[in-house]
Structures are given as C-alpha cells and as structure tokens.
Amino acid sequence: MDKKEQLMGLTQVQVDERRARNQVNQFNADASTSTWDIIKRNVFTLFNALNFAIALALMAVQAWSNLVFFAVICFNAFSGIVTELRAKHMIDKLNLLNKEQVQVYRDGQLTAIDSEELVLDDVILLAAGEQVPSDAQVLSGMAEANEAMLTGESDLVPKNIGDELLSGSFLASGQVHAQIIRVGADNYAAKLMTEAKVVKPINSKILAELNKIANFTGKIIIPFGLILFLEAFVMKMLPLKDSVINTSTALLGMLPKGIALLTITSLLTAVIKLGMRKVLVQEMYSVETLARVDTLCLDKTGTITEGKMTVEDLEILSEDHSRQEILENLAHYMSHSEDKNPTSRAIRQFVTEPANPAQLVATIPFSSDRKWGAIQFADKGSFYLGATDFLISGTNDFIQAAQERGSRVLAFAWSPDDLNLEQPALPDNLEALTVLEISDPVREGAAETLEYLRSQNVDLKIISGDNPVTVSNVAAKAGFHNYDQYLDCSKVTDEELEAAVAQTAIFGRVSPHQKRLIIQTLKAAGHTTAMTGDGVNDILALREADCSIVMAEGDPATRQIANLVLLNSDFNDVPEILFEGRRVVNNIGLIAPIFFIKTIYSFILSLICMATILFFRADWIMIFPFIPIQITLVDQFVEGFPPFVLTFERNIKPVEPHFLKKSMFLALPNAVMIIVSVLFSQIYGSIVGWSSVEIATLSYYLLGTISFLAVIRACLPLNLWRVGLIIWSVGGFFLSAHFLKGLLHIGSLTANTWPVYLVLATIFTLIFILFSKRYYPKDMMATS
C-alpha cells in the first residue's frame, strides 16, 4: 500500500470487519480500589468498631435513649463512602488516555470520532497539544512527543516517519499522520493503567491530625473501658445497665467524630461554591491544599495577558532581501507551519496567503525547549522562526523598544543549508531577515488581582518561555511588585537556577524541564506551591505543583492533569479560589477547640475515676458523671449547629500551620474547668448532703455553660446574626434541659444548687476571658 492509499484510511467495510474481530480501542481498567474496598475502608475501621461495640453494649442493656450518637457515626461513614466513590468515578473517567475526539480518515474523508471508536489500522491526524489515543506508527510528518506522563522523562522525543507513538503521550510540536498499530488492552498506556491505576490516598493535613488522636484513643479505649466498667459494676456495685451507660459515656467522649464529619461537609460545600463560580474541582481535598499555598507560580501568556496576540510592527534587517520578498517567504513559512499557538495565529493574520505555495522539503516544528522552528523549501533554502536571542546575534533599538513595551519579539532568518532532521541545530551561516513585534494586552483586572494576592502574603513568581525583559515589562504594566528581579534561564545551569529561585521573581526563557525544577526547588524549601498554566509546556510543572490550576481554553493535556479547571479561563478568579480554601481550613481551625474540649475532659476524668480505686473504699470511688444522652444533647447545641454555620464565614488570613497543637491548647482551659466543676459538685455536694440528682443537675448545667464559652469565643467579633446564633444555641440548651430533664436523668436547679451554679459560672467565665485575652490570637477569631 503506497502513502496515498494509506492516507485514504479504512473503508467502512474494513472498519466493520475489525469491530467484528473486537479490534477496537476500548479498554476499561478496573481500579485497584473497588467499591467494596471503599465501603470496607469507611465502615470496618477501628474507630467505627469501637463505637459499634459501645452501641451493642447499650443495646444489650436496653439503653435505647443513649444510642442517638450512633446516627452520627453512620452518617460519617456514609459521607466518607460517597466522597471516595466520587473520587473513584473521576479516576475511572480521567485515565491516562483523554476522551477528546480524534481526527481519523475513513473512506478518504477526515472526520472526528471518539478515541474508543478507533480500530486497528485506522489512520489518524495528530497536531501539537493533542494526545496520542492509541499506539501508532508515523506515516508522514514530524513531531516531538512529550512522554513524561508515561516515562517520567522530561526530554522531548523526536518522531519521524516509521517511529512509534505511545498512547498517553502528547505532541509538544509538529503534526503527523499515523496508523494505529495496537488497540485496547494491548496499548502501552492501557498496560500502565492496569499496573498503576489507583485512587490516590486522601491528602488532608486536618484528617491526618485527627487520625493521630483516633489512633491514640483507639489504643487506650479498651483497657480504659474494662477498668471503668469493673470499677462501677464490681467495686461500686451499680446495676449492670448503669455501669454500661456510665462507662460508654467516657469512651464516647474520647472518640472525636464531629470534627471529621464537619471537615468533609465543609470541603464539599467549597466544591459546590467554586462550581457555581465556574471552577471545576477535580479533587476535593485540593481545596484544603489551596488554603496552605504560600507561593503562586504564574504563566504569562493567557494568565497575566489575554493571550490574544497581534503583530504590531516589523523591522527589516537584511539588505539583500526586499520587504516584499521577506513577507512572501514568511507567508510561505506560515502556510506550511503546523504550529497552532496564539503567536502563529497572529502572524497568519498579518501576512497574505501566497498565490503560489512553495514546495515543502522538510520541517522542524517549533518547540519550547529549542525556542525556534524551521522549514526548508525547494530552491529557496531553509527559513527559521523563533526567539531573537537564538536567531540574532546581539540586539538593536527596535527589539529593545518592543521589549520595553512588553511586546514579544520574534526573528525570521534564512540559511541556504538543508535542515538536519536527525539533530536539529542552527547553522553557522544564518542570516536574520526581519524582527516581528507581537503585542499581547494585559488582562483587565490583572493588576488588582496581583496586588490583592501579594497583600495576602502569597509570594508570586512568573515563569515564562518569553524573553525575560519582555516578561518584566509586561509584569510592570500589570503592577507586579518585583518586576525588575528577572533571570534568563537559557543562560544558567540547573544548579545556578536552583540557587536563584528564592531571590528571583520572574523567570524568562524557561524550558519545560526548568519549570518543573523551579517548582521542585520551592517545595524543597518548604513552600506550598500552586501553578497556573494552559499549555503542553506547562504539564511537568503542573504535575509537580502541590495544586495545579489550568484554563479551560488551554490544551486538553493540561485539563486532564489539573486539580482545578477555570471554566471561564479567567486569571482573576484565582484569588477567590485560594481564599475559598483558606475559608474552609481557617474556620475548621477556629471551631476545632470546641470539639477537643470533650476529648480532653473525657480522658482526664476517666483517669481520675480509675485513680479513685486506690482509696479502696466503695463510697469514695468516682463514677464517670455523665451519660450518653446528656453528652449527645449538649453536642447538638455546642458541636452541632453553631460550628456548622461558622464554617461558612469568610476567613482569608494565612493558615495556621500547627492545627492540632494550637486547637488542643485552646481547648484545655475549658476542659480543665469542666473537670474542676465536676469534682467540686461531687465533693461539695457530698459534704452538704445533696442528692445524686442535684449533683448531676449542677454538673450538667456547668458542662453546657463552660462549653458555650468556647462557642461565644468562636463567634467574636459579635454582630447581629452571631448574637442570634448564640441566643439560639444557649436558649436551646436551657430549654431542652428544662423540658427533657426526665430523659436526661437530671432535675431543675434548686435553692441549694442555683447560687452555687451562679458563683461557679461567674468564676469560670472570668478565668476564660483572662485566658483568651492573653493566649487567644485575635486573628483566629471569626471575621466580619
């Protein structure tokens, strides 16, 4: 079969024959994490097992009213399952192979079909920025493939006639006709997916910190439970039901469950809110990562600028070629160029389509690594288009003036020598013909966006393939703060680049490999990085960044690997995305002390109860003072509605790095005051002859009051609706305590207990205020 017949493609009859033989490009790799694995991971955990064991114990003694807590456990497990199933569904859809349509020849006609409809021996047309849908062999043309997603190597691989294209790779430059040689499960990418297609583990520092507590309590809860039960049932000789109920309360209090549920809920609401702003979040926990971003790396074209380029002017450099001849050759070059980037489109609009096309001999497509491309014509020689730094020796007034205006400058040069396709290199006898000035207007609102990000302690860096002087002047127009701190990366080694990353704000002439190296260096220095981009040359850096943000108008390759996609392709949306993550994490940090109060006092009270065994007197042995239904009801007004509402507060300050340590420290005073109130109620009540109901009542009211101090602190500074939230929560607690006292096994505050309650509540409130003023940072409080 000759080349012309090959490019006709398959006939419909041939396609049907291959479909009958199942030679179709359909393959679904089963993810290593099945639905059953996800269910097991969220249901059959130590945390859930302990809660279930407590629930079974309560059911065994028919303490039905104390089982309300188990509904929270079930909902928490359900939320986790739903979240992971959503992630699994995304992984199943976002394979190494993209789902973009492919240009294929069928019956001599070029048509677009889904990649899964390709069959063996199909002839396809691939251009720069497109992904190879199935293993194929090049029939005509030349390209450079980025196989980093498959091999991890950043170098571009030249692909000429007869070379093999691996499925899952991307064309970084050029255009080829290729014939499918493997389909479905036989593809290179399919084999990789079978081995490596997994749902990534959840990357959440908040959940990691909570797991530390869960792991600790999981280790101590069984021995604690046995000791507390034997103490109550054997030594105190309480009824079996009472022994089980009191023991269960202590154990339940040590197991943090509310904050984990609230974290997942907050992240889901953030995903929904960003979706309403036309931001596609492809990984839920990337919202939390965004909150910790302290360094944002920006691409210039299409990010700071609009990406709508126009040729403004040119200067003729050659004395041997006329302006008309140069423009004619430039038109020939563009008519045969396979580049489809904004720069190429601008030049095509500037030149006039040649009446008599020149005969093409060879092509070297433009690449981000070389910074130039070339085309050879019969009887004309070879023409080169690319960066002036590489095609012209020195500079001139025209280039300097254009760069000062923030314009991109490209050189068009000529050589009589043939192109070297095996080892592309610039010839020694290169003659510069002309220089083109190409403008790209700064995006409206970019200056305000950059200034706002800087004011929020986000370090900004611009990484671009353009000349650093041009990038610097564009940055100056956009109000970039350190526009004069730039570096030409084409003139430095990797070691020099790594050493300069911290002090440099603008990186010009950056290769894809260097972009990734910059991100790696920033991460090694302890920074949390986000990267914006839209081109194939950004893929390596986007994958390396902690969080990748791409424009929907960018290449399909970048959209596939990104954490977030800006559907409006508007850089001005970036601050709101970053601050949505901050809102979630900061507000969880704000309310976390409310949840840890119970964990701390449950643990310490359990130790105290166990220590009273050493008195060797049954009447001196202390039993855990609360029962599950009491704790559950307090939680509804302390850990339930108020924290949930407060998570929606706007809070864009930098994230506190030591979440667990600070939250536990801030929860400690409340927990200690609850412990003191319980001990005082028990000891003082016994001395003055109070009944057990009076002691339980005072302990319960003080528990709620001290817990609400943390809620009030989280609501500062007060405004009308926060005051309403406090009134609803406090009022709900006292009303439920009054009307449900029979269910709660308490009574009303009496003439004996009421004065004591007022005195203790006043003392504890004053202590809390003094502590908060000294140790609680004002910037951790809710913002207006």
CATH 1.20.1110.10 domain residues, the chain: 207-269+580-780
The DSSP call for residue 722 is H
Looking at residue 579, what is its pLDDT?
84
Looking at residue 253, what is its pLDDT?
84
Q: What is the CATH number of domain 279-306+443-567?
A: 3.40.50.1000
Q: In whole angstroms, give the CA distance from residue 275 to residue 285.
A: 15
Tokens linked to 166: 């691996």
Tokens linked to 611: 């220590």
Tokens linked to 337: 């160029």
Nearest to 461 by CA among 430, 433, 486, 428: 486
**Angle formed by the axes of helices 753-775 and 659-688, nearest 10°:** 160
Q: In whole angstroms, give the CA distance from residue 71 to residue 74.
A: 5
Looking at residue 202, what is its pLDDT?
57
Looking at residue 501, what is its pLDDT?
95
Looking at residue 6, what is its pLDDT?
64
CATH 2.70.150.10 domain residues, the chain: 3-27+96-196
Mean pLDDT by 10 residues, the chain (784 residues): 67 92 75 68 73 84 76 73 64 48 90 90 88 90 73 66 86 87 81 46 70 80 89 87 87 77 78 82 81 88 80 92 93 85 87 86 81 91 93 88 89 93 87 93 87 87 88 88 90 94 93 90 94 78 88 72 83 84 88 91 93 82 88 87 85 79 90 96 93 95 95 89 91 94 92 95 94 68 47
Q: In whole angstroms, give the CA distance from residue 550 to residue 559.
A: 6
Looking at residue 571, what is its pLDDT?
82
Active site residue: 30, 92, 107, 299, which one? 299
Q: How many helical (H) and strand (E) elements, i.e. helices and strands, does the chain have?
A: 29, 21
Evaluate if pTM is beyond 0.75.
no
Looking at residue 420, what is its pLDDT?
85
User: Looking at the domain covering 207-269+580-780, what would its CATH class be?
Assistant: mainly alpha
Looking at residue 89, what is its pLDDT?
63
Tokens linked to 327: 């423009």
Looking at residue 196, what is its pLDDT?
36
Looking at residue 198, what is its pLDDT?
40
Looking at residue 142, what is its pLDDT?
84
CATH 3.40.50.1000 domain residues, the chain: 279-306+443-567
CATH 3.40.1110.10 domain residues, the chain: 317-421
String of DSSP letters for 545-608: SSEEEEETTS-HHHHHH-SEEETT--GGGHHHHHHHHHHHHHHHHHHHHHHHHHHHHHHHHHHH
Three-state secondary structure call for residue 481: coil
299 is catalytic: yes
Q: In whole angstroms, give the CA distance from residue 518 to residue 622.
A: 61
Looking at residue 84, what is its pLDDT?
62
User: Looking at the domain covering 3-27+96-196, what would its CATH class be?
Assistant: mainly beta
Looking at residue 152, what is its pLDDT?
44
Q: In whole angstroms, give the CA distance from residue 45 to residue 323.
A: 76
Three-state secondary structure call for residue 648: coil
User: Looking at the domain covering 317-421, what would its CATH class be?
Assistant: alpha beta
The residues that bridge with 103 in the sheet, in sequence order, are 112, 125
Max CA distance (Å), the chain: 114
CA angle 169, 171, 176 (to 5 degrees): 115
**How far does Cα 28 stand from its chain's mean position?**
26
Looking at residue 27, what is its pLDDT?
63
Looking at residue 455, what is its pLDDT?
85
Tokens linked to 368: 């981000």
Looking at residue 155, what is its pLDDT?
58
Listed in sequence order, the DSSP H helices in 21-154 are 35-43, 46-60, 69-93, 148-151
**Residue 72: what residue type?**
V
Nearest to 605 by CA among 234, 252, 242, 259: 252
201 prior amide bond cis, ω within 30? no
